[in-house]
């Protein structure tokens, strides 16, 4: 037998093997076009969201590329690959991985996931074997009836003084963390993950640099944080489908713990990258861009994700969530920041000015708000918070005058008091990375500032 013939027979053999090793297929189609991020296939009738595989001829033979149906146009299905598409040929066969009615993706859930770092499809990234769990669930769940949702009425201690004392967060509240790059988002989220009183922490690292993922897990979350956390990482270099799926999977895991009656802290870094992933997909399948390049579907996906966090039905567990929102160049008009502010129950703004002066966590108290706070704390405490904000704001407005010595003491009693208390207020707002500060301590320290 000539070598060529042998190779050819072997290739057929491999192809047979590939095909027979797959689940029983009802149908297969052919790829007609692949441009940019999407591929088009004909000859298949599949619901959106179905997982498919596309045959690929590579140097080592035939293998498969997982893809997901993201839309259709007449008889043409739009597929988006979850991995590299090099080697895919025109006319390549496309198989559906699901037969009959689509059940949607089923991913592992449950307490066995604690301490693990997984990717958006639940494959381990921590070098340990794949998680063995008793329970698998679909990524999508029925939304909680808003009238049956337990209201936000209990404080969640997040372990950060400035937040506990001045921007008190309740169990089931959804907060945004608005900041540009490098001003301390990850460190602040890590502090909350380590010191919070929540039972379980679910972290979604979406669209960030790969190096950042390792840094967050090893240095910022640390051993203590990791034990009671599940980390789902979908860094910037993976397909936008997986980045979106990562955010949804993290939310789904949090929902599962909540339904077990636990108080969950869900940390999503970042919501902006989630929106960008949806923008990539939507633009690729031809949705017209609307606001600053974002197609309308992005603004529908954001509330759909965020609304899944929050309290469960009465007396159930809770998901308190922190979503980071990137505000590049301090652009508060960014459409994602705008939309996020409207759908979240409060926002914490990190300021570059404070970070640059070494004031950490760089929370801009004046620009931040917790909308559930008034229902959570005593009126006397709230009075002190308002007082604190007034004094701080008065000091900031007159900062330049004070620093050049142009302010004459006695002309403004509020400013006099602000100047006297400023060192204590500043110390109150600052907190070192490895320092924990409980809710009670935050209240007591606030009292101390005003009792002098």
Ligand X SMILES: Nc1ncnc2c1ncn2[C@@H]1O[C@H](COP(=O)(O)OP(=O)(O)OP(=O)(O)O)[C@@H](O)[C@H]1O
User: Are 139 and 255 a contacting pair, CB within 8 Å?
Assistant: no
Locus of tokens 């509020």: 414
User: What is the widest separation between alpha-carbon atoms in the chain?
Assistant: 104
- Report the nearest approach of ligand X to the CB of residue 144 (Å): 31
Stretch that binds ligand X, among 70-78, 141-149, 392-400, 429-437 (CB under 6 A): 429-437
Stretch that binds ligand X, among 132-140, 291-299, 378-386, 428-436 (CB under 6 A): 428-436
| Polymer length of the chain | 452
User: Are 140 and 359 a contacting pair, CB within 8 Å?
Assistant: no
Q: Which does 100 bind (CB under 5 to 8 A by kind): Mg ion, ligand X, none?
A: none
State the number of binding residues for ligand X (CB under 6 A). Answer: 14
- Report the nearest approach of ligand X to the CB of residue 361 (Å): 5
Residue 22: both structure tokens together: 């797959």
Q: Which is nearer to Mg ion, 125 or 187 (CB)?
A: 187
- Report the nearest approach of ligand X to the CB of residue 184 (Å): 3
- Report the nearest approach of Mg ion to the CB of residue 307 (Å): 25
Asked whether position 203 contacts ligand X by CB under 6 A, the answer is no
- Report the nearest approach of ligand X to the CB of residue 322 (Å): 12
Q: Which is nearer to ligand X, 225 or 361 (CB)?
A: 361
Q: Which does 183 bind (CB under 5 to 8 A by kind): ligand X, Mg ion, none?
A: ligand X
Q: Which is nearer to Mg ion, 186 or 251 (CB)?
A: 186
- For residues 134-193, which are near ligand X according to CB under 6 A? 179, 181-187
- For residues 209-238, which are near ligand X according to CB under 6 A? 212
- Contact residues for Mg ion (CB under 5 A)? 185-186
User: Are 88 and 97 a contacting pair, CB within 8 Å?
Assistant: no
Alpha carbon 106 to its chain centroid, in Å, reads 20
Q: Which is nearer to ligand X, 34 or 220 (CB)?
A: 220
Q: Is 199 exposed, middle or buried (0-12, 13-18, 19+ CB in 10 A)?
A: middle
Of 347, 365, 349, 420, nearest to 161 by C-alpha is 365
User: Are 274 and 206 a contacting pair, CB within 8 Å?
Assistant: yes
Q: Which does 318 bind (CB under 5 to 8 A by kind): Mg ion, ligand X, none?
A: none
Question: What is the per-residue DSSP string for 241-275?
Answer: HHHHHHHHHHHHHHHHHHHTT-EEEEEEE-HHHHH
Q: Which does 360 bind (CB under 5 to 8 A by kind): Mg ion, ligand X, none?
A: ligand X
CA torsion angle 148 154 159 162 (round to 10): 100
- Report the nearest approach of ligand X to the CB of residue 340 (Å): 16
User: Are 321 and 174 a contacting pair, CB within 8 Å?
Assistant: yes
Asked whether position 432 contacts ligand X by CB under 6 A, the answer is yes
- For residues 356-415, which are near ligand X according to CB under 6 A? 360-361
Q: Which is nearer to ligand X, 360 or 388 (CB)?
A: 360
Question: What is the per-residue DSSP string for 52-97?
Answer: EEEEEEETTEEEEEEEEEEEEETTEEEEEESS--TTPPTT-EEEES
Q: Which is nearer to ligand X, 96 or 431 (CB)?
A: 431
- For residues 237-256, which are near ligand X according to CB under 6 A? none
Q: Which residues contact 403 (CB under 8 A, 6 or more apart)?
A: none
- Report the nearest approach of ligand X to the CB of residue 431 (Å): 6
Residue 91: both structure tokens together: 């006319």
Q: Which residues contact 451 (CB under 8 A, 6 or more apart)?
A: none
- Report the nearest approach of ligand X to the CB of residue 386 (Å): 26
Residues near ligand X, by CB under 6 A: 179, 181-187, 212, 360-361, 431-433
């Amino acid at each position: 037998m000539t070598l060529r013939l042998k190779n050819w027979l072997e290739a057929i053999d491999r192809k047979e093997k590939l095909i027979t090793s797959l689940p029983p297929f009802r149908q297969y189609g052919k790829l007609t076009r692949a441009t940019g991020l999407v591929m088009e296939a004909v000859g298949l009738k599949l619901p959106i969201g179905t997982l498919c595989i596309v045959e690929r001829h590579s140097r080592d033979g035939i293998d498969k590329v997982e893809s997901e149906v993201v839309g259709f146009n007449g008889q043409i299905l739009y597929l988006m690959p979850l991995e590299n598409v090099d080697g895919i040929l025109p006319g390549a066969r496309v198989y559906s991985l699901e037969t009959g009615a689509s059940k949607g993706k089923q991913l592992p859930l449950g307490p066995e996931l604690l301490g693990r770092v997984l990717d958006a499809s639940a494959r381990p990234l921590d070098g340990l074997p794949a998680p063995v769990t008793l329970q698998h669930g679909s990524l999508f769940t029925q939304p909680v009836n808003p009238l049956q949702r337990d209201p936000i009425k209990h404080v969640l201690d997040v372990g950060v003084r400035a937040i506990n004392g001045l921007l008190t967060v309740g169990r089931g509240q959804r907060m945004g963390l608005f900041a540009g790059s490098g001003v301390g988002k990850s460190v602040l989220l890590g502090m909350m993950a380590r010191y919070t009183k929540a039972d379980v922490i679910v972290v979604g690292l979406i669209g960030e640099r790969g190096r950042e993922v390792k840094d967050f897990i090893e240095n910022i979350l640390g051993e203590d944080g990791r034990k009671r956390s599940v980390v789902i990482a979908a860094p910037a270099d993976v397909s936008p489908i997986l980045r979106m799926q990562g955010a949804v999977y993290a939310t789904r895991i949090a929902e599962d713990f909540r339904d077990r009656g636990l108080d969950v802290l869900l940390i999503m870094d970042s919501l902006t990258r989630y929106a960008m992933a949806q923008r990539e997909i939507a633009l690729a399948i031809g949705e017209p861009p609307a606001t600053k390049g974002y197609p309308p579907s992005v603004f529908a996906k954001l509330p759909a994700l965020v609304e899944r966090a929050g309290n469960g039905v009465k007396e159930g567990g809770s998901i308190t969530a922190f979503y980071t929102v990137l505000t590049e160049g301090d652009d508060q008009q960014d459409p994602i920041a705008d939309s996020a502010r409207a759908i979240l129950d409060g926002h914490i703004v990190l300021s570059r000015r404070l970070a640059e002066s070494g004031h950490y966590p760089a929370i801009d108290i004046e620009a931040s708000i917790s909308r559930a706070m008034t229902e959570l704390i005593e009126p006397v405490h709230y009075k002190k918070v308002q007082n604190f904000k007034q004094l701080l704001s008065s000091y900031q407005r007159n900062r330049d005058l004070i620093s050049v010595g142009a302010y004459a003491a006695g002309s403004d009693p509020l400013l006099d008091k602000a100047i006297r208390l400023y060192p204590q207020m500043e110390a109150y707002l600052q907190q070192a990375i490895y320092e924990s500060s409980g809710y009670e301590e935050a209240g007591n320290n606030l009292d101390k500032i005003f009792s002098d």
